[in-house]
Structures are given as structure tokens and as C-alpha cells.
Structure 1
Amino acid sequence: MAIINRKKNQVPDSEKDIQYYSKLFWKYFFYGLGGIALFFLFASWGLLGSMPSFEDLENPDSNLATEIISADGVVIGKYFEKNRSQLKYSDLPKNLVQALVATEDARFYEHSGIDGRGTLRAILSFGTSGGASTLTQQLAKQLFHGEGSKFLPFRIIQKAKEWIIAIRLERQYTKNEIIAMYCNVYDFGNNSVGVNSAAKTYFSKEPKDLTITESAVLVGMFKNSGLYNPVKNIEGVTNRRNVVLKQMEKAEIITEAQKLQLQRLPIKLNFKLESHKDGTATYFREYLREYMKKWVEENKKPDGSDYNIYKDGLRIYTTIDSRMQLYAEEAVEAHMANLQEEFFEQAKENKNAPFVNISQAETDRILKKAMKASARWNIMESNDKSEEEIIASFKQKTKMKVFTWKGERDTIMTPLDSIRYYKHFLQSGLMAMEPQTGNIKAWVGGINYKYFQYDHVGQGARQVGSTFKPFVYATAIEQLGMSPCDSILDGPFMIRKGEHNVTEDWEPRNSDNKYRGMVTLKRALANSINTVSAKLIDKTGPEAVVELTHKLGVTSEIPAQPSIALGAVEITVQDMVAAYSTFANQGVYVKPQFLRKIEDKSGVVLYEPVPESHDVLNKDIAFAVIKLLEGVTEGGSGERLRTEGGGNGDNRWTGYPYMFKNPIAGKTGTTQNQSDGWFMGMVPNLVTGVWVGCEDRSARFRSLTYGQGATAALPVWGYFMKKCYEDETLNVSKEDFDRPANLGIKVDCYSRPAAVVKDSTDTEQSTEEFEL
């Protein structure tokens, strides 16, 4: 009976097996869950490789480009290693956001970083039905561990880290912020990182201006920008774009009819690769870069580390106006291309072109100096090549691209011939400034930065010719109490050896070798009469002129010699504009200003310059100089600004029609042998200086017809101002210059007889002069 009862209570073997395997299953199931939990916990702690900290998530290292922003809010350039710039969600076009979500993550607004349905689908189909990465996971991959490894264990670890980061991102940021971050970090190829750069590179547009099809192209590139590159694979990109449009139709963003219509449209690119050497304000951007290099040396981050202008996403707000900058560049291009054509035409008759009246030895010296300054010479010299070998290489023909005013041209020539070819090109420098604030509005340092990188605004000082004379006249008005209506004899004049430290007798002559008798100062400056300038500096002494010129902001070394009265002084365009601006600003010098402020990527202001100014002349004297300079455009060398044609009637080039009616103060300048042509032009709220000449002074026009400032430089000013006046949003003044109250200097020469002037070489006489 006991045996029977024991057998009744005995559990069958099959039930034991079920209980055993059941316990074993749950044991390993919980072990597995624990292991997975530990796996994710260890991953989150960084035991399986580094993980971003909370601070990293707040401030991901995005390698941001520094942006250069104009006064009117346009990004005119960038400094970068990777061309990446930030956009806010509000800056993204709605159609792009809709296309992105519809294509890459349809349930983006429903999940919290990981799409469970998508993950399960991918597991069950072994990945054949598509991946399971959400936009947040893709952002995590982009920000912190790139594309990952192909080795399965590493891929599993990286996927776990990706999930953890995605969840943290979802906790830390809103959905809109995550989309913006994703659009800012994706590499679209061709050195364009982020939607902002991609829109400008492929379509030359701001992101907000992208059409639906253009947005679809960029969204299609998110899959693989290397494969779907519209520059290299337009067919593949078109197919991928159409897939995006189909997804937009599936998400009911567009209708089927719209989808079909959009899919039939060809992709129209406006591809412009952003480069430091291309775009607008190239010379200014390089000048600014050199300034920023010094700035980062003197200014540190709060933690003591250095700023990096190529990675830290700084925002540099400048005084440049993008509209004026465009008009200035157009003015230089329009006139210089025209003038260059005439230069080449004249060079055909010159066996030593472009050089005029120099020996072969001097020509060889110029060319050898250029060879030694070239990259070819430096590279070969660093490779221990002898000078004979290097020079020989300059005489071997090679394929190259050369600059022309009609675009780059492929050709074959020797490097030495290419040096001589480039010596033919006339260069130009233009700067426009607001005299009351010192804000520089336009800066054109040359004709093409890619080929000619020397900056003729802030870097290159050239002889200024007669544009220096107003400084002499201003000194005479201040020191001698003269007025624009006072008369002086235009006649032969000599400063003897020993006077004013001259080493030999100096007898200046007028450019036309004529004398006009008694003339007012206004007429003398209008006609740029050399003898009058020489007499004035003889009376004031050259030291007084030098002192005033330095007070006007000119930094060049100026010899205290009478010859400076005729412009034998080298000054930069920048300094000349600042000096003339003092006259327009009622005698107050304001240092040229090109920066408004510098911000970090978060918008914190790091630097804001303080304007520098000082009094130089009283208002009456400054206004008297303005009235003198108005005479230049009323009846002197600048009179062509008021006529239909800007050129001379006896040559084939007739310039541009200006017909300006408003008050303009200005001065032309031409140096010896027509090596430099200048025009300084002023209206009450804008002062602009223009220089034109070849790189080498011996490369020039043969005669004054084309080489003078009135022909070489003045048309650039006229074209620029004409464009500025046509753009009424710029508010460039057409009004009179401010006349000081109770003006104590006679400037209206028609009202009464001119004053009597006692000249050491003249007999005392009086003459009545009338306004020109």
C-alpha cells in the first residue's frame, strides 16, 4: 500500500522536463534581460567606448564655419575647414522639413528616439524591408560616432550607443531642434555641410527660397550624398528626387497630380562652389582674415583656449553694404574691361609691351623679380634646384589657364610669357566710406582675387598725384587765412636751392605748359595748376602740410619737400578716403571702421569696436575745401561727370553717360608718365576713392589721353555712383554739403571782388573773379 501511495505521488518524467525547461527558460530570460540591461548600462557609462557628456549634447562639436555678415544682413563670405553653418528651425523651408520627415522617418513626431515598429520590422525581415534608424538616431550617428564599423560586434555596440544618445537627444531637445540639428550637420559633398551651405552651393539660393523640387533633391541626398551628387549623377539624383516626391504624396503633403507634374520637371542647378577666392568682397574678406588672425591671438575663450576662425562658428558683423559692394565690383569690371581693351590695342605697337621707355636690362630685372616671387620658384628652390635650372623651367611651354575679361582661357605658353602677359593688366582699388561714422561700405582691392591677390586698397600705396593738392590748399586756408576766392598769379615760379631744404633749383611747370595769369584758388584747384600749389607750399612751408596730412589720418611717411605739393607721395586708397572724409565731416577725422561686432556661435558679443575720431580743422575751413573741390566737377577735370560722355571726343572710347546734377566735390590725380590715375569723389554722406594703374609703374599708357585720372579712374566712380543712386534703398545723398552757420570764409566768389593777395614774386594787384 505504501508502495502504491508513493507511486501515486510521483511526478511523471514529462512533467519534470516541462518544469525544468520552464525554469531554465525564465532563468536565462532574466539573465538575458539583465545582461542587456548591463550592456546598455555599461555603454551609457562609457565602459564600451566614450560617450558624449551632458555638455556634449548641449554643445555638439559641429565644426562650424565663421560667417562674415554685411551691414544689410547678407552673408558675404565664410572662413571654414568644412563649409558648415547653423540654421534655426524657423529658417528651414517648410517643404524641405515635410519632405525629410516623409522620406526618412514618417513616425518622427510619434516616437521618443527609437521607432519600435520599425526596429521590429527590420529584425523580422533581417533588414530587407529597410533600416530602422530614426532621424534622431541618424543625428546621433552624425554627431558622435560617424558611419560606424562593419565588424558585427562593433556594430552592435555602436547601435546600442546610438540608441542611448538618441534617447538623450529626445529628452534634451524638441523635435524641431532635432530636425534643425540634423539639417545642419549632414555633409552634402562639394565642401557643403548643412542645408544652408548646400542650398547656396547647388542652387545659389538662401534655404528659404528653395522650391519643392529643389528641397526634394537635397532630401534625396540625405540617403547618400556621394552617390546622389547632382553634379556627377544627375540621372540618379532625378530618380531619387522622384522617390522623395512619391513619399510626399503618400504622406498627403502634395497631391498625385502635383507629384506627377513635379516629377517631370528637369533639375536645374546653379552650382557655385564656395571658395575663399571666389564670391563677393574677396579682397576685403582677406584683409579681414588677417585682422582676425591677430584678434584671436589677443582674445581668448573664457576657458583660456584659443578661438578658431575656421571651426568656432563666429559671426563677424561688418560695415560693408552688400549692395554697394556689388555695385562697386560691377563698376570696376565694366570700366576696367573696357580700358584694358584699349591698353592691349596700344600694346600691339610696343615691342617691349607692356613696359614703356625702359631699357632691356630694366625689363629683365622686373621679370626676374616676378619669377622669384612666384610659387614655381619657391617650390623648385626648396627642392635644391639651381637658379639656372629654375630659370630654364620658366622658358618651357606648358598648359595653363589664364585670366581674361571674357573668362578663363586654356592656352599653352611659357611661365615667363605668362608673367609678361599678366603685367599688361591694369589694376584698380576702390573704397567707399561714410564720413560721419567711418563705416566702410565697399572695398574692391583689385580686378580678380583668384589671379591678382595684391590688395590695392589697404595694402598698396601708390603716388597720389594732384589728389594731394587739397591738403596743400587746406593748409594755406588755415595758416594764411586765405579763401577759395582769393587770387594768385599763375606764372613761372622757382624755389631756389637751399630753400625748404631743396638740393637744387625746383621750377614746377603746368601739365599743359601754359600760364593763366591771376586765378582764384578755386579755379587753380579745378584746373590742377601746379605753379599755384608750389607757391602755396612755399608760403606755408612743407612741414605744415605734412603735419596736417598726418592729422587727416595719412600714415605714409611724407618727406618735408616742396615737391609733395604735386603729389610725389605714396598713400593707400584707404588713407586717402579717410583724409577726404574729414572735409566732408566738417573737419572731424573718423578712423575707417570695417567691424560692427563679433559674436560667438551662441550670439554672445565678444567684441564691439569703439569709433576713433579727433578734430583736425574747424568747420569753416573744411567747408571752404569742399567748395574748392566742387569747382573740380563744375568746371575742371571732373566736369565730364555732368556731361553725356565720360571720355574725350578724339578717341574711340567715350566713357559712360552720367549727367549728375547734384553737388559733387572731387579731385582727379595723375602721376608722372601716367603710371597712376586717381579720382576722389564726395557727396555729403559717401566718400569714394578710386585708383587705377598697372602693377609696375613702367607698364602704362603712352599718353594722358587714357592714362590720366579723369579717364582711367573717374569713370569707375561715375558708374558706381550711378548704380547707388538708382538704388533708392541706399539713401545716398543728392543734397548740398552742410554749410556752417555764420561762415567766416568767403566761398561764394561771384558776390564781390576777390581779395588781394601779396605774393613774393608778384606785384600787388586785385582782380574780380566769378564762380566757374
Structure 2
Amino acid sequence: MELIKRLLKNKWIKWGFIGFASVLIFFIGLYISIYLGVFGKVPTSTELSSIKQEEATQVLDQDGKLIGKYYIYDRQPLHFEDFPKHLIDALVATEDVRFFEHDGIDNISLMRVFVKSILLRDKSAGGGSTITLQLAKNLYGRNNYRFFSMVINKFRESIIAKRIEAIYSKKEILTMYFNTVPFPDNTYGIESAARKFFNKPAFQLTKDEAATLVGSLKANNYYNPRLNPEKSVNRRNVVLNQMVKYGNMPQDTATFYAKKPLGLDYKSFNHDVGTAPYFRAQVKKELAAILDSIKNPNGERYDLYRDGLIVHTTLDVGMQQFAEEAMKEHLTILQNDFETSYGNSAPWKTNKKLIQRSLKNLPQYKLYKEAGLSDAQIRDSLSVKRDVELFQWKGDTIQRMSVVDSLQHYLKFLNTSMLSIEPKTGAIKAYIGGIDYRYFKYDHVSQSERQVGSTFKPFVYTAAIENGMKPCTYFSLAEVTYSNYDDWTPTNSGGETEDPYVNYNLEMALSNSVNTIAVKVLNEVGISKVLEQAKKLGIKKELPNLPSIALGVAEINLQDLTGAYASYVNSSKPVTPYAITKITDRNGHVIALFKPEVTEPAFNDYTREVMLEIMKSTVNSGTATRLRTAYNLTNEIAGKTGTTQDNKDGWFVGITPNLVTVTWVGNDSQSIGFKTTGLGQGANSALPIFAKFYSKLNSDSNYNFITKSHFENPSSEVVSDLNCEPEKRDGFIKRIFSSKKKERKFKGNKK
């Protein structure tokens, strides 16, 4: 005591002691004020015992394979048993070697940091943070205070860490940590990171892969294995050496893994890329409507981005990948042929009215217009060149372009859509809404309506047969002018080369897609009955009451068209394509369940069997024969090609017993069609996507139930009624008294 009194008489020691005591009292007071919530509420033990973290909604295919996620933070939770031991060893050895010994605060590490970092100024001493402290930061983040921000946050985290340790076991803490820790590329949780960087679940991570991901925690961007592979390898090897140092791995094993390349298999779940982006976008729209009417147990609406819902869909991811490959293979070639056919006369280069009209639809143009700029000023502004990332089939590129240049670049691209469904239910198995979702957001499956061309003709023939017309009814190829419809004269693609004195039966006429006969059949059965038949087939849109409907001038949504064609292999019942089967919450409880819609038959069995036989002929001897000759498909297939006026749209419908597929190809601008019918006809523009898709299915035995399926045998009555000569020629007398082109009135009055 006397010694202390003597020391305090020294003014330097006295003021040093006062300063130290003041600092100590200040930090004690600061700690107490933080504990009491002066700087913001600190979660209580009760709140910590019921931690609920935001989780990504997962979208699964029919077999439970992950195809996409909706999230603010990309996170998928796991249980402790899902973590491989070497993953835990890597984390503990690198981040917190005394994790299983301390109570949330590692005093030995803190002392080391104090001595080395503060007294000795050694920057390599480390931060002294424990896994539990990091978990506290992951769970509750950090606030920005004007003064002492780091100290306040550290004190706050230490309080939370102590409470976490008092409530949870070490296993539970590790589980929460691995489910919340941020990895590179805005990825939260080890499961999401494993799937993103190595395309596998966390439990399948190898020792070097686990070390790579744990190593990235030190600095997410700096050690990002995608962006900085060399730095990531070096950091991975540091983790491996730490595992050797603390007895988790022998040296020779670490040496072996240290020599391996990263082996990334990067799979982004970004909404714009990856498998089936148009499908995922459509599912998201549907979910928004569904969840709007469902409440969680607390009476609140579910949050698509935070509540960790599991969305089970009908999609077959393998089939989807085949479909996307087939589309890309064909469109790459077709786009080149399309551009070559136009040469220097391409409308996206020379048609000033088209370019100007397209410019005025751009958001930038509208903003400038609202700001009061003149057309000339807007044009000048949109002509400024800048670096732009452009889509190209041979690979994306960056070029210096103006908005006008970019517009002309994108005007030239053909777009596409494809839908494959299970005809018995309407379950969607493959879905392509366009050529690349990053650049072409418009979905041609769910949003678009295009003229369907000759794919409407089977509905005309269906109505005719359903109303008593026999398959061996013959109609002349000759052109007819309908005087009560502005002297409208439908023609055939063969034009003058066709013999007007030849008569086809229904099978020959439809399988060869003869326009003149389609209109005559429509005239015979009546427009009203065809429109009624289309409605029974699930075509929701109000169709034009015009004879040209026989040639497919109606604009119909692809989903409706696909659902209608399913009727020919579904007991005459159309279906409504659907994507979602059920939705569960994060705990697996079903919150919504969906089943196929039940519909009534649209026509009788006789009609269905006749139509199916006719559409088989389309593939075997009609407009779709290249499926047999060019693509060598031997499967049982029925189908229908379609081409619209001026070659604006190309269609193909492929029907097999267990799969119905519709493909469409055309330009987004309906002012731009194919240069020639040979290039733009459905058999050339749309059919090859189906052909390549089906060839890929044939190569995979998993799809034998589709590719090796057989149509039902037609009844003896149908076989008998189809047993007639495909064509007849007018006799000599009839040819003398008939003209090449006739004039008649279409049944019913023009409206």
C-alpha cells in the first residue's frame, strides 16, 4: 500500500493510472450501455432460441433436381449430418482451432491479437474472431455508428456469441454457421456454394473442394475461385496445410490435393441464365398469384424470396437440356441462312420506316420524348457510340455501338418457342420461350400470340369428320374465288404447277396441307361449327368469323395450341398445360397442391382415330417427311407443319403417344418474314428443332417410354373408311364443262 502511495506521488505515474482507469471505465460503461440496448436492441436469449433465417425458394424438376431459386440471399439450409467431416475439420483448423473448448470468446486468441497486433504491430497476427462471433455477425449484421463503430459492433457480437453458446450445442452452432456464412458471388450457406461452384450437394464435396470453399471465407472477392483461380488455389493449399498442422490430414494427402486443379463446375442460379430461364420466370409469375391467396400459420402472406419454399414442378430437366441443345443447334444454322438470303437488302438495314418505328418503342426514346427533346435531338442522342455487350450465336461479344446500331443488330434475330407436354395431363416437360433470356425477355410460350397457319387445318377437318364427312370425300385442287368475300381466291403453295382437275381425299389433302381444299372443307362444314370445335378444343381466344381461318390467320397462344393437339392422344380430351404440382414450406408441409384440369371429350373416338391416321400420313408421306428422310426418325410420330402468309411464322406439331410438342420460329417484328418459302416453311424452320430434340431423346434409354411408345391401333371401321384412292382425276367430260378457276359464294353472309 505504501508502495502504491509513493508511486502515485509521481505525477506521470499518477496521470497514467488515471488515464488507464478512465479508459477502462469508459469501455466498461460502453459495454454496459450496449448490453442494455442503448445502441440498438440486442437479441435476447428467447429470440435467439427461435432463430429464423431468410431462405431461398427452391424450384425443383419432376425428379426433385434443383433447377432454380428465387432469393434476395442465395441460401439453402442443411442439417449437421449433411456436412462431411473434412468440411468441419477445414473450417475449425482455419477459422477457430479452439472452437470446441471456448464459450464463444477465445481469450487466448484475443491475448495473441493484443500482444502481436497492438503492441508488436504484427499485421499477420489474425483477428481473434471465433466461429460463434462470426455467426453473430452473419445473423445480425453490423451497424454503422458515427464513433467507435468497430468497438461497439465487436462488443455487441460478443454478447450475442455468449448467449448463443449458452443456448445451442457446438453442433448446432456449426450448422447455423454453415447455413448462414457468405461465400463468393452473393452465395449464402455451404449448400448453395457447393451447388454453385462444384454443381453438387455439400455432402459430396471432396477434401480439396471443401478447402477451396472454406478458404474463400477469408475474403470473398479476393479468393473467389471463379474470378481469381490462382489466388483461390493458393488459399486452398493454406487450408490443407492447416488441416495437416492440427492432425486432420496426413501430409502426403495434403500434397496430393495441393497439386490438383480447382475443378470448378460452375452453375449459376441467376434468374437470367441456366436451365429453363423462361420456364422459371413463368413459374415465378404463377407463384406470385398463388401465394397472394395463401396465409402462413401466423396469418401472414408467404414471402417468395425469404421463406424457403419448395416448388415442385412438372419439368424434366434432362428433356429440357435436350430441347435447348436442339434449338441452339438449329437456330445457329438457320439464322446464318436467314441473313445470307437477304444479303444487303435486309429490312433491318434498309427499311427506314421499320427502324424508326422500332426506335420509337424503345424506353430510352420515350424518356427523351417526355423530356421535351425533338426527334432530331433524340436521334443524335441515340447515335452516340459506347461499349455494348451483344448476343451472337457464335458467342457474346462487346462492340462499340450506338443504340440505333444495337437496335438493328437485334432486329435481325429469329426467335423461337417450344412446348412439350404430357398429353394425358398437360404436365409441361420442356419449355423454351425464346433464344436467350438475358437479351430477349419476351416469352413466346406464355405471352405471344402468332398466326398459326396450317396448324389450324386439323381443327377444320376434325369438325368436318365429327359432323359426318367421310375420310374418302374428294375435293378438287382447283382454285375458287369467293365473290361474297371481296373476290378472295385462296391459292396453294404449288401455284400454277398443280393440276386443277385432280381431286384429293381428306387424308391426302391434309397431309399435303392443300389450302384450296381446306377452305372448301370449311365451307362444307360451316364456319360456326369449326369455331365451336375450336372452343371445345380449349382455344380460348375469340376467333375471326372468316373463311381465311381455314388457313390459320387466327393468332393463337402456343399453350392453347399444344393443349388442343393433346386431345388426339388423350381420349379426345384437350388439356391445359401446367407447371406446378405442389408447394411446400421449409419444413416440408404442403401448402398448395395442383392437379390436372378434367375436361370433356371434344369429339368422338372415330374422329380422333381418323385424324391421328391422317396426321401420321403427314409424317410418312406428306409435308413432314423429312423427319423420315433427312433425320431418319423411325419412331411412331404424327404431326402437322404450318407456314403463315409471307413466311412470317413457321410451325411444327409433333405428336407421339406420350409427348406432344409444338415448335414455332419467326422474327419478333411481324414486318420481317423469311425471304423464301423454302427457307421459311414450317418443315424447314420449325420441324428441325423437334427432329433434333427427338433424336437426342432416342439416344437416351431413360426416355424409352416416350421414344418406343406405340399409337393405339385404329378400329376396323376407321381402317375401312380410309381405304380408298388418295386422289381422283376429273373425267374428260367433266374437264370440258369446268373452268380452271370457279366462282362461288361462301356459305353464310359476310360479317
Q: Please report how far the alpha carbon of residue 200 of structure 1 lies from its aligned counterpart in structure 2 after TM superposition.
A: 4.2
Q: Does 1:578 align with 2:525?
A: no
Structure 1 unaligned residues grouped into runs of 5+: 1-12, 18-34, 646-657, 757-761, 764-772
The residue that corresponds to 2:352 in the other structure is: 364
Aligned twin of 1:182? 177
1:573-631 deviations in whole A, cap 9, x for unaligned? 21111110111111112211111122233333222223212112233322222111111
* 2:474 alignment partner in structure 1: 488
Q: Write out aligned runs for 1:646-685 (5 A).
A: 658-685=631-658
Q: What's 2:133 paired with?
A: 137
How far off its partner does 1:384 sit? 4.1
Specify whether residues 219 and 537 from structure 1 end up closer, same or farther in structure 2 by C-alpha distance, changes over 3 A only: same
2:436 alignment partner in structure 1: 448
- After superposition, residues 340-379 of structure 1 pair within 5 angstroms as 340-348=335-343, 350-354=344-348, 363-379=351-367
TM-score, scaled relative to structure 2: 0.85
Q: 1:309 is paired with a residue of what secondary structure? A: coil
Please, which of 525, 528, 535 is the counterpart of residue 520 of structure 2?
A: 535
Specify the SS of the correspondent of 1:298: coil
- Alpha-carbon distance, 1:710 to partner: 0.4
Letter in 1 for 2:65: V
2:124 is aligned with 1:97: no
The 1:524/1:210 distance shift into structure 2, 3 A limit, reads same
Distance 1:550 1:303 in 2: 43
**Matching residue within 703, 725, 728 for 2:676:** 703
Could you tell me how far 1:62 is from its partner in structure 2?
A: 3.2
Counterparts of 1:369 and 1:131 in 2: how far apart (Å)?
61
Mean CA deviation greater in 747-756 or 564-573:
747-756
In the alignment, what sits opposite 1:523?
Answer: 508
How far is the alpha carbon of 1:76 from its aligned partner? 1.6
Aligned length: 702
Change (3 A) 1:45 1:609: farther
Shift of 1:187: 1.9
Q: Per-residue deviation at 1:572?
A: 1.9
Residue aligning to 1:655 = none
Mapped to 2, the partners of 1:618 and 1:626 lie a distance apart of 12
- Asked whether the 8 Å contact 1:483–1:624 carries over to 2, the reply is no
With over 3 angstroms needed to count, the CA separation of the structure-2 counterparts of 1:147 and 1:243, relative to structure 1, is: farther
SS at match of 2:178: helix
SS of 2:64's partner is: coil
* Amino acid across the alignment from 2:561: M
1:505 to 487, 493, 498: 487
Residue 738 (str. 1) matches residue 712 (str. 2): yes
More divergent stretch after superposition (559-568 vs 47-56): 47-56
Where does residue 108 of structure 1 map in the other structure?
Answer: 99
Give distance in 1, aligned partners of 2:390 and 2:643. Answer: 30
TM-score (norm 1): 0.83
Counterparts of 1:410-449 in structure 2, within 5 Å, are: 410-449=398-437
Contact 2:476–2:503 (CA under 8 A) maintained in structure 1: yes
Take 2:413 and 2:447, find their aligned partners in 1: how far apart are those partners?
A: 18
Give how far 1:704 is off: 1.6
Cα RMSD after superposing both structures? 3.4
Between 1:532-541 and 1:703-712, the stretch displaced more is 532-541
Aligned pair 1:257/2:252, yes or no?
yes
Deviations along 1:494-548, one digit per CA (max 9) or x if unpaired, are 37444xxxx3333322221324733331121111112221122112211111111
The structural deviation recorded for 1:373 is: 2.3
Write the deviation string for residues 226-248 of structure 1: whole angstroms up to 9, x where unpaired: 44334555554333222210111
Partner of 1:51: 42
Note if contact 2:339-2:346 (Cα within 8 Å) is conserved in structure 1: no
Counterpart mapping for 1:63-102 below 5 A: 63-102=54-93
SS of residue in 2 equivalent to 1:162:
helix
Structure 1 residues 232 and 635: CA distance shift in structure 2, 3 A: closer
Match of residue 660 from structure 2: 687
Q: Secondary structure at the match of 1:330?
A: helix
Aligned partner of 1:428: which letter? T
Q: Secondary structure at the match of 2:186?
A: coil
Distance 1:434 1:280 in 2: 20
Are residues 729 and 234 of structure 1, via their aligned partners in 2, closer, same or farther at CA, if it must alter by over 3 Å? Answer: closer
Q: Contact 2:581–2:595 at 8 Å: present in 1 too?
A: no
Distance in 1 of aligned mates of 2:337 and 2:686 = 15
Which residue in the other structure is 1:405 paired with?
A: 393
- 1:634 alignment counterpart: 620
> Do the aligned partners of residues 147 and 43 (structure 1) sit closer, same or farther apart at CA in structure 2, a change above 3 Å counting?
closer
| Pairing of 1:545-564 with structure 2 (within 5 A) | 545-564=530-549
Tell me which residue corresponds to 1:215. 210
Q: Tell whether the 8 Å contact from 2:510 to 2:614 is kept in structure 1 after alignment.
A: yes
- 1:444, distance to aligned residue in structure 2 (A): 0.6
Partner residue of 1:721 out of 689, 694, 706: 694
Alignment-derived partner of residue 234 in structure 2: 239
| Cα distance in structure 1, aligned partners of 2:144 and 2:215 | 21
Paired position in structure 1 for 2:740: none
Q: Distance in 2 between matches of 1:479 and 1:218?
A: 68
The amino acid that maps onto 2:61 is S
Instruction: Report how far residue 461 of structure 1 moved.
Output: 1.0
Structure 2: gaps spanning 5 or more residues = 6-25, 729-733, 736-751
Matched, 1:587 2:572: yes
- How has the CA–CA distance of structure 1 residues 146 and 36 changed in structure 2, closer, same or farther, with 3 Å as cutoff? closer
Instruction: State the alpha-carbon separation in 2 of the partners of residues 149 and 395 from structure 1.
Output: 47
Match of 2:379 among 387, 391, 395: 391
Matches within 5 A, 1:251-290: 251-269=246-264, 274-290=269-285
| Letter aligned with residue 704 of structure 1 | T
Matched residues in 1 for 2:273 and 2:557: separation?
24
Matched, 1:603 2:584: no
1:66-120 superposed Cα distances (whole Å, 9 cap, x missing partner): 2222112222222223333333334444432221122223343455545565566
Residue 306 of structure 1 and its aligned partner are, at CA, apart by 3.8
Q: Distance in 1 between matches of 2:366 and 2:269?
A: 28
- Taking the aligned partners of 1:84 and 1:57, their CA distance within structure 2 comes to 19
- Amino acid of the structure 1 residue aligned with 2:463: T
> Could you say what secondary structure the match of 1:720 adopts?
helix
Residues 207-237 of structure 1: CA deviation (Å, up to 9, x unaligned):
3443322221211122232443345555543
What secondary structure does 1:613 align onto?
Answer: coil
Question: What are the Cα deviations for residues 366-401 of structure 1, in whole angstroms up to 9, with x where unaligned?
Answer: 222321222322443454433331122233444323
Deviation at 1:131, TM superposition (A): 4.7
Q: Cα 1:662–1:263, aligned 2, differ >3 Å: closer, same or farther?
A: closer
CA contact (8 A) 1:679 1:691 kept: yes
Counterpart amino acid of 1:134? Answer: T
SS where residue 334 of structure 1 aligns?
Answer: helix
1:314 aligned onto 2:288: no
Greater Cα offset, 329-338 or 72-81: 72-81
Work out whether residues 142 and 153 of structure 2, in 8 Å CA contact, stay in contact via their aligned partners in 1: no
- 1:494·1:505 contact (CA, 8 Å) conserved in 2? no
Q: Is the 8 A contact 1:487 1:754 kept in 2?
A: no
Specify the code of the residue in structure 2 equivalent to 1:702.
K
Partner Cα separation in structure 1 for residue 577 and residue 108 of structure 2? 63
Structure 1 vs Structure 2: percent identity of aligned residues?
37
The one-letter amino acid of 2:531's match is V
The 3 A distance-change label for structure 1 pair 53 and 683 is farther
Q: What's the CA shift string for 1:106-141, capped at 9, x where partnerless?
A: 343455545565566667777776554432232122
Equivalence for 1:653: none
Q: Aligned AA for 2:588?
A: G
- Provide closer, same or farther for how the CA distance between residues 124 and 398 of structure 1 changes in structure 2, counting only shifts above 3 A: closer
- After alignment, is 253-262 or 54-63 more displaced? 54-63
Verify the 8 A CA contact 1:620 1:744 in the aligned structure 2.
no
